[in-house]
Amino acid sequence: MSWSDRRFFLTALVATAALGACGFTPVYAPGGSADGLRGAVTVAAPSDANSYELVKRLEERLGRNLSAPYDLSYTITTRSEDVGVTPRQEITRTQILGAVEFSVTSSATGEVVESGSLSNFTSYSTEGSTVSTASVERDAKRRLMVSLADMMVTRFTATFSGWGK
């Protein structure tokens, strides 16, 4: 082992010990703030391509449970803006802005336990054939839905200890 590798190893060892000493607990560990989140939320069924991608990612991250103690409803909005234009007024890049409003309710009581709105954007190049542009547009929409779903899971992970029982 070279000297620089030893220093890195020692630094990592000290950092790990410091995290343990300060009470750091991984969120998904037993007793962590998101312990029990996986499988605790039933996501509303998708109704279009965007919601399909959102639900697919949410179920990848949260698990699928049709009789979970919480229900997640959502509304997705998207809009496109042309952001790259040549001097000849040809569009070279399009940006898709997306937002999701969501509400988590208790399956037992119907009480809203968490709600909010999140937004993000992605873009794609419109240079190329019609087929390639359609393909990259679909991929950009998929990436946007994955990003919004990941943001929702991050929010739930941070707040689950307050509403998850």
Q: Are 157 and 37 in contact (CB under 8 A)?
A: yes
Q: Which residues, given as ranges, of the chain have pLDDT below 50?
A: 1
For the chain, give the number of residues.
165
- pTM exceeds cut of 0.85: no
- The predicted structure's pLDDT at residue 114: 97
User: Residue 133's closest CA among 98, 88, 82, 89?
Assistant: 82
Contacts 24+ apart (CB under 8 A), 25-33: 27/157, 33/157, 33/158, 33/160, 33/161
Q: How many CB atoms lie within 10 A of CB 112?
A: 12
- The predicted structure's pLDDT at residue 30: 61
- The predicted structure's pLDDT at residue 22: 64
- The predicted structure's pLDDT at residue 35: 72
